[in-house]
Amino acid sequence: MKYILFSIAAVITFTLGACDKESSGTDYDLSDTLQPYIIIGKTAIKTKPDSIATIRFTMRTGLSKEVTVNYSVTGSVELGNQTVVMNRYTTTKDVVIDIPGGTVAPSTTVVTLLGATKSDGTPLTIGRYGVASGEKVNINIAAP
């Protein structure tokens, strides 16, 4: 019994002696060094003429300002440059692209994320790693 009490006292002494007296234990670094970015869903979409394709834009975090997203639609469905606004504090925005009935199939349409800016004019990083060239999705249009 004497050895057990001695062992417990020794463990408590060593444990308390190992504490850093200068640290309060609350000095965690909570800074966020990763800038807000926006991406486009990259999974290829399969659809048919006279239907729709839904594209999703996703931000890393919801922002307190509206974000204007610029994208282009090229290929068999040619819409050129388009714009959509993401509301405050949201992280996703779906965009519906109509595939007209007269679209020649099989063919491909490419949606490319061109840029995004906050309502105060601050640009967002395009892509998780800042590589904008990879932010595109293919819409594969098959024969009906």
- The CATH number of whichever domain residue 91 belongs to comes to 2.60.40.2030
In the predicted model, is pLDDT for residue 69 greater than 60? yes
Length of the chain equals 144
pLDDT at 24: 59
Tokens representing 47 are 């659809």
The pLDDT of residue 129? 84
Residue 75: inside a domain: yes
**Of residues 31 and 39, which shows the higher confidence score?**
39
Q: What value does the mean pLDDT take over residues 76-92?
A: 96
Give a yes or no: residue 102 inside a domain. yes
Number of independent structural domains in the chain: 1
Domain range spanning residue 41?
37-141
Return the pLDDT at 14: 67
Q: How confident is the model at residue 5 (pLDDT cuts 50, 70, 90)?
A: confident
Q: Does residue 117 form part of some domain? A: yes
Query: What CA–CA distance (Å, rounded) separates 66 from 143?
Result: 39
Regarding beta strands 107-118 and 136-141, do their DSSP bridges make them parallel or antiparallel, or are they unpaired? antiparallel
Question: Span 73-80, mean pLDDT?
Answer: 95
Q: Given pLDDT bands bounded at 50, 70 and 90, which one contains residue 53?
A: very high
DSSP state of 105: S
